[in-house]
Amino acid sequence: MRTGTKGRTGWNPWSELDRMQAEVEHLFDRTFGDRSFGRQNDSYAPGFPAVNLWSGDDEVLVTAELPGVAPDEIDISVSDETLTLAGARSADPAPEGAAVTHRERGHGRFSRSFRLPFRIDASAVDARYANGILEVTVRKAAEDRPRKVPVLSA
């Protein structure tokens, strides 16, 4: 029996169930990925690429960390209110005669989708890539932008 601060024996079945549930969820994420949010990847940690979103009145700025991904391997698509970032990174080639002893850097295909709180103007999406950082500016569709209505005197 284990000892600790919980109960007489220190064993808490609820914390054991929580731990087991977390392990099973981790196993499913590693095996199947989080398909419900459009993320698919072969060997990346969950949530690759790391992304920040900043929202303004008429646009959203999205930045994504994509080190080692060539710009021509990045696909950006928009549909209604969904922005999708996808692409691929090749595995690092091992030096001749060397064996891999530790590998953390992911490789293969990745995809992440983000549902924004407005419809996207597909003709007004700008993307820039420098130093492994992708910046995407996504503008609201004209129909969703607030519009000033002039008041005429009678």
Q: What is the mean pLDDT of the chain?
A: 80
Give the model's pLDDT for residue 151.
Answer: 93
Residue 150, CA atoms < 13 Å, CB-side half-sphere: 3
Give the model's pLDDT for residue 38.
Answer: 39
Model confidence at 71, pLDDT cuts 50, 70, 90, reads very high
Question: Which whole-number Å values give the CA distances from 148 to 97, 118, 139, 145, 151, in the listed order?
Answer: 68, 18, 18, 10, 9
Give the model's pLDDT for residue 26.
Answer: 63
Report all structural domains of the chain as residue ranges with CATH numbers, in order of start.
34-91+106-144 (2.60.40.790)
